[in-house]
Amino acid sequence: MHLSAPWGDIDPMSRRPETLFPLFADLKGLGGVGPRVAENFAKMDVEKPRDLLFTLPHNIIDRKLIDTINQAQLPNVVTVQVTVGLHQPNAIKGRPYRVMVEDAGASFQLVFFHAREDWLRKQLPAGQKRIVSGKLEVFDGLAQMVHPDYILRIDEADELPQIEPIYPLTAGITQKIIHKATLSTLERVRGLPEWIESSVLKENKWPAWHDAIRTAHAPQSVNDLSSTAKARERLAYDEFLAHQTTLSLARSKTRRAKGFTTIGTGMMRNKVLAALPYKLTGAQSRCIGEITDDMASGKRMNRLLQGDVGSGKTLVAFMALLATVEAGGQGVMMAPTEILARQHLAGLQPLAEQAGVVLEILTGRDKASERKAKLQALSKGDIEILVGTHAVFQKDVVFNRLRLAIVDEQHRFGVRQRMDLGAKGKAVDILVMTATPIPRSLELAHYGDMDVSILDEKPPGRIPVETVLVSNARMDQVVARLKAAIAEGRQAYWVCPLVEESEVVDFAAAEDRYRSLRLALGDENVGLVHGQMPRADKDAAMVAFSGGKIAVLVATTVIEVGVDVPNASIMVVEQAEHFGLAQLHQLRGRVGRGTEASTCLLMYAPPLGKTAERRLTVMRETEDGFIIAEEDLKLRGAGDLLGTAQSGLPRFRIADLESQTALMKIAHDDARMLINVDPSLKSPRGEAMRTLLFLMEQDKVIRLLSVG
C-alpha cells in the first residue's frame, strides 16, 4: 500500500523512505508489464516491483556457446553457431516445418509448428550463419530442436545470456516476461542503510543488501541457488530479522505496559505442595519460579509454557493461579473443549479444597439459572478461579479483579480469542500452555513475542510406554490380545485411521470399526466417540470410559489432546502411517498414566513408504517429544506441523524455517538486543531497521512506534 495520506502530526519517521518508493510503485511501470500481465503476476502474489525482487530463480539454463552438438549429452539445452541449410515446408495442415542446419561437426533439424514460412525464411536465410539456442533431443534417430528459444545473427550474440535464470511461473507469465520485469526492477534498487549488526555481517561474510539482491537474480551455477549461497543466506536473514524485530517490538510494547505486581504469600501453594504424594521436578520448580517472577515484576506477563506429554504442566499453571489468589486477584483457565475443561476441574478441585480456594467451571452447557448465579459470584469476586471453554470470554462474563488468564492448548485458539480473554481485566497477565513440543525455529517464528518456559522432565516413576509396529495382516491377533487384556480388567483406546482429513469420512470408518469390535468383544465393552456426535453423546461416552463402564473406546483423533484415564494402558492406532509424528506422540501420551505397564500398537499397511517408515521408526525409538518435534519438522515442514489453525505463522518468500533454524536464532537474539537498547528505533541502526521493516511490509509495527 503506497502511503500518500496527509501526515499531520504523525512522526515523520513512520513514513516510508523515499528510496523505497520505486519498489512500491505500480507494477505496470515495469518493462513489458501491461494491465493483463499485471493481472497474471497477481496470481503469483506479485503486485508491486518489491514482490518481484523477492521472487528468486529456482533453476538455471546454461546457454554458453559450444562448437558442436557432438559435445552435448542429449536431451539438453544447447547453444551453437550453425549454417542454415534447406527449408522443408509441409503443405499438410498440422505437420511441422523443418529447417536443416549444420554446426562445426554435425547437422540437425530446427522444427516449427504453425509458423509462417515468410517469417521463417527471413529469420533463417539459407546459407547464412545464425546462433540458435534451445532444447535438443533425438527423435527417430534425428537430432531436433523444436521452436528454438533464441535465433540470433552473429552480431547479436551479446544479447544471449550465458547463464539464464529460471523463475517460477503462472499462466500468462513466460520466462521472458518475468526476466524483463525483474531486470527493470533491479534498475530501481538503490543502496540502503545497513540494518545488520556489523559483527554479524562480517562473521558470516555476507554482501551488502543491494549486491545480494542482484547476485541472487544472476546465479552463475547451481551452487548459487542453494540456501547456503552467501547472497541468498543474507536475504533469508533479512526476512527473519524483520520478523523477529516485529515480534520483539510487540513484546517490548507488552512489557512496557503497566501490569499488576502480583506477589503471593505462598500460604496456599505450600498447603497444596505439602498434600502432594510426590515432589515437583526440577523443571516444574524452575518454570513456577519464572512465571511468578514475571507476575511480581509489575509488567504484563506474556509467557508460553510448553511441556511434553505428562510433564506436569497443569500443576505449574495451578501454582500460578494460587499465587494470583494469594495476592487478592482472580484467575481463569480456558480449555479448547468441554471434556478438557471438566478434566481440569476434576484434577484441580481436590487441590483447590486443600488450598481453601473457590474453583468453578463455566461452559456453554450451563443452565440459565446456574450460569446467572456463577456470573454474579464471579463479578462479586466470590469465585476465585474459573475454568471453562471459550464461554469464559463472552461479553456477559465479568470478573471482579482478574489478574491472570491461562490459555490451554493455544494452537486450538486464534490469537484474537487470546486477546479477548486478556481484555477481561486491566493489564491481565497471559500464560499460554501447549502440550505439543515445538521445534525451536517454529517457537521463535510463532511465539517470538512471548517469553518461554519449558518443562523438559517427566515426574519420577512414570513407566515408559512400549511401542510396537504391527502389520494390518495381524488384526485378528490384536483383537485377541485386546480380549485377553479386557478380561484382566484393563482398558484400551482404538484410534481409527485418518481417511482424508475429513471428519465425515473419518467417523464413517470409526463406526465400522466400532461395529466389528462389538461383535468380537461384546456390545457392553465397546464405546464410540467422534467429532460428528452431539456433544452430550460424546461427553457421555467419555464419562463411561473414564468411569470404567466400557473397556474399549473407539475414537477419531478427538481424543488426541489431554484426555486422562489412568486405567487405560493400551493404545491401538490403525493405519498409523497416515498420522503425523506429533499426533502419534499425543495419542501415545493418553496411556502410561497409571501404574500398569502400557503398550502402544501402531498398525500399518505394508509396504511402507520411506517417510512413513521413518516416522514409525522414530516413534518406536524415542518418547522424547522435543526430539519427535524436530524430526516431524524435517519430515513434514512448518506449515503442516502447526496446522491451519496457526494462521500466525509467517510466510517467508526466501527464508526457510526447516533448514535455516540457526539463522532464525541469530535474528531472534539480534532483534531483542536492538530493541532492548533502542526500543523506539531512533539510533542510526534503528533508522536502518525501519527501512527494513518498510521493505518487508511491516508498516503497522512502525505505526505502533509513532503512537508509543
**How do residues 285-324 score in pLDDT, each as one tens digit?**
999 999 999 999 888 888 889 887 778 889 999 999 999 9
Q: What is the pLDDT of residues 329-347, one digit of tens each?
A: 999 999 887 878 888 898 8
Q: Look at residue 656 and tell me whether its pLDDT is greater than 90.
A: no
Q: What angle do CA 473, 593, 561 make, to 5 degrees?
A: 75
DSSP one-letter string for 553-589: EEE-GGGSSS---TTEEEEEETTGGGS-HHHHHHHHT
- What is the radius of gyration, based on Cα positions, of the chain? 32
Q: How confident is the model at residue 240 (pLDDT cuts 50, 70, 90)?
A: very high
Q: What angle do CA 472, 473, 474 make, to 5 degrees?
A: 90
**Of the spans 535-544, 566-575, 587-596, 646-655, which averages the highest pLDDT?**
566-575
Least confident of 203-212, 246-255, 638-647: 638-647
Q: What angle do CA 91, 94, 97 make, to 5 degrees?
A: 60
Percent of the chain past pLDDT 90, that is, above it, reads 48
For 234-269, letters b (16+ CB in 10 Å) and e give bbbbbbbbbbbbbbbbbbbbbbeeebbebebeeebb
Q: What is the mean pLDDT of residues 46-73?
A: 92
Q: What angle do CA 415, 668, 586 make, to 5 degrees?
A: 50
**pLDDT for the residue numbered 598:** 92
Least confident of 49-58, 211-220, 313-322, 384-393: 384-393
**pLDDT for the residue numbered 308:** 79
Q: What is the mean pLDDT of residues 15-29?
A: 89
Q: Which residue has the higher pLDDT, 366 or 329?
A: 329
Q: Look at residue 528 and tell me whether its pLDDT is greater than 70.
A: yes
Q: Look at residue 71 and tell me whether its pLDDT is greater than 90.
A: no
Q: Look at residue 123 and tell me whether its pLDDT is greater than 70.
A: yes
Do residues 652 and 238 touch, judged by C-beta distance below 8 A?
no
**pLDDT for the residue numbered 210:** 94
**pLDDT for the residue numbered 703:** 61
Q: How confident is the model at residue 434 (pLDDT cuts 50, 70, 90)?
A: confident
Please name each of the domains of the chain with its CATH number: 74-158 (2.40.50.140), 267-455 (3.40.50.300), 465-622 (3.40.50.300)
**pLDDT for the residue numbered 346:** 86
**pLDDT for the residue numbered 2:** 36
Q: What angle, rounded to 10 degrees, do the helices at 503-521 and 475-487 form?
A: 60
For 386-400, letters b (16+ CB in 10 Å) and e give bbbbbbbbeeebebe
Q: Which residue has the higher pLDDT, 475 or 562?
A: 475
Q: Look at residue 414 and tell me whether its pLDDT is greater than 80.
A: no
Q: Look at residue 478 and tell me whether its pLDDT is greater than 70.
A: yes
Cα gap 416→421, rounded to integer Å: 9
In the chain, the amino acid numbered 89 is: P
Least confident of 201-205, 338-342, 367-371, 416-420: 416-420
Pick the closest to residue 20 from 667, 693, 706 (CA basis). Answer: 693
pTM, 2 dp: 0.66
Cα gap 598→485, rounded to integer Å: 11
Q: Look at residue 644 and tell me whether its pLDDT is greater than 50.
A: no
Q: Which residue has the higher pLDDT, 24 or 580?
A: 24
Q: Which residue has the higher pLDDT, 393 or 231?
A: 231
Q: Which residue has the higher pLDDT, 543 or 356?
A: 356
Q: What is the pLDDT of residues 175-200, one digit of tens each?
A: 889 999 999 999 999 889 999 988 89
**Of the spans 499-508, 564-573, 642-651, which averages the highest pLDDT?**
564-573
Cell of 499: 481417511
Cα end-to-end distance, the chain, whole Å: 22
**Of the spans 116-120, 344-348, 357-361, which averages the highest pLDDT?**
357-361
Q: What is the mean pLDDT of residues 97-123?
A: 92
Q: Which residue has the higher pLDDT, 447 or 166?
A: 166
Q: What angle, rounded to 10 degrees, do the helices at 338-355 and 535-546 form?
A: 50
Do residues 362 and 391 touch, judged by C-beta distance below 8 A?
yes
**pLDDT for the residue numbered 464:** 85
Q: Where are the beta strands (DSSP E) in 74-207?
A: 76-88, 97-102, 107-112, 129-139, 142-146, 150-152, 163-166
Q: Look at residue 560 and tell me whether its pLDDT is greater than 70.
A: no
Q: Which residue has the higher pLDDT, 633 or 578?
A: 578
Q: What is the mean pLDDT of residues 94-104?
A: 91
Q: What is the pLDDT of residues 290-301, one digit of tens each?
A: 999 999 988 888
Q: What is the mean pLDDT of residues 371-389?
A: 94
Least confident of 110-114, 133-137, 266-270, 419-423: 419-423
Peptide bond into 607 cis (omega under 30): yes
Q: What is the mean pLDDT of residues 375-392?
A: 93
